[in-house]
Amino acid sequence: MQSTELIWTLISFFLTLLIFSYIFGDNPFFRLTSYLFVGVTSGYFLTLIIYQVLIPRLWTPLFEGSLLERGLTLIPLILGLLLLMKVFPRYSKLGNIPMAYLVGVGAAVTIGGAVLGTIAGQISGTIDIFDFTTQASLENNPFSQLFNGGVILLGTISTLVYFQFSTVSNKDGSGERSTWIEWVAKIGQLFIAITLGALFAGVLIAALSALIERLDFLQRVITGFFY
């Protein structure tokens, strides 16, 4: 084991032990490690942004690029300077221009991707389930495929119905959803609960996997010192 690797292994070992000290409650060691992690991450982010964003995307084109590149680089430079004005309340309105640009472009990209990549893809995938020709070519059991497709369809519809809150008002001003919508909504509520449970289980499994990895690391380091 090289010396540098040993040093970084020991640092990792002690920092892991300090994090595990949280078993005994909140303590300065845990907080020290947390603050250290946040600080190192911020420093790493700054260094990464300088070397990965500012130098290759701003400095180099502005001082080493062609005239066209310099001219085009002024646009993000000005927008970036205006965005810095958000720090100063007196000139914060100047930052609205780059913010508008960022929000507009980001919304367009996200919405376009969501429509084409998620909604259209999900609708197409749900319809394909009931394409028995395709499923027959895949040699899947058509009944099981139909059942799976029916569950997916029920789950999709019932979940959408659950988030439907529009009602017709009664004479006394109150409004209640119709009975069949209430039943469908409850089915959707069930699907939502299963989904959230699956997500929680995934988080638990992810955390358990991380714990296993760290315990294996500690076990390896400890066995390494003795063996």
Residues lying near other proteins in the complex (CB under 8 A): 20, 23-26, 41, 44-45, 48-49, 51-53, 55-57, 60, 64, 105-106, 109-110, 113-114, 116-118, 121-122, 124-126, 128-129, 152, 172-174, 195, 198-199, 201-206, 208-216, 219
Please report how close the Cβ of residue 82 comes to other proteins at its closest, in angstroms.
18
Q: 3-class SS at 169?
A: strand
**Quick one: tokens of 24?**
């005994």
Cα-Cα-Cα-Cα dihedral of 94, 96, 98, 100, to 10°? -160
Residue type, 226: F
Contact at 8 Å (CB) between 222 and 10?
A: no
Please report how close the Cβ of residue 90 comes to other proteins at its closest, in angstroms.
29
Please report how close the Cβ of residue 114 comes to other proteins at its closest, in angstroms.
6
Comparing CB distances to other proteins, the nearer of 26 and 90 is 26
Please report how close the Cβ of residue 225 comes to other proteins at its closest, in angstroms.
15
Q: Of 205, 214, 212, which Cα lies nearest the Cα of 33? A: 214
How far apart, in Å, do the first and last CA atoms of the chain sit? Answer: 13
Comparing CB distances to other proteins, the nearer of 139 and 172 is 172
**Quick one: tokens of 85?**
């004005």
